[in-house]
Amino acid sequence: MAVEVGQEAPDFELSDHTGQKVRLSSFRGEKNVVVVFFPKAFTGICTGELCEIRDLGTVFEDEGTVVLGVSCDTTATLAKFAELEGYQFQLLSDFWPHGEVAQRYGVFLDAAGIATRATFIIDKDGVVRWSVVNGPGDARRTSEYREALAAL
């Protein structure tokens, strides 16, 4: 079962595509966080969704909000993906222990060994204020979480 709106977001620490450690709780009191779980780098739907976030820039990421993309890919894979697509937001590797963060959020698909397509908007107090969980082949509508961000 996925983490629900109104619950405190499970804390985590993962390495980003540059090897830097990122802890969710480090944003508490300072920034809203959009955690975007995606199944696999370099796949059509994932690339399209993340490029839309990249292209809309400040709609998703500004002085009060940060975007964290999370997949079970390795940091090396995510580094190449970020470089080729020009992503300015951090891509976090949930590779080892494999899918541990996705499991805590209830969005890990055991049979496939990947996170499903899920987004959690976490406010500055660390509480999940909005979420959507789709199957790996079902694209999210970024307009929905743009609206949720505007309401914070």
* Residue 86 within any structural domain of the chain: yes
Q: What per-residue confidence (pLDDT) applies to 84?
A: 97
In a domain, 65, yes or no: yes
Q: Which range of residues forms the domain containing residue 102? A: 13-150
Residue 51 falls in the annotated catalytic set: no
In whole angstroms, how far apart are CA 97 and each of 2, 11, 17, 83, 121? 19, 15, 16, 25, 24
Whether residue 90 is contained in a domain is answered as yes
Whether 127 contacts 7, CB under 8 Å: yes
Number of folded domains that form the chain: 1
pLDDT in tens, 16-62: 999 999 999 999 999 999 999 999 999 999 999 999 999 987 777 78
Which of 14, 24, 36, 46 is catalytic? The answer is 46
Residue 7 counted as domain residue: no
**In a domain? residue 3:** no
Tell me, what CATH number does 74's domain have? 3.40.30.10
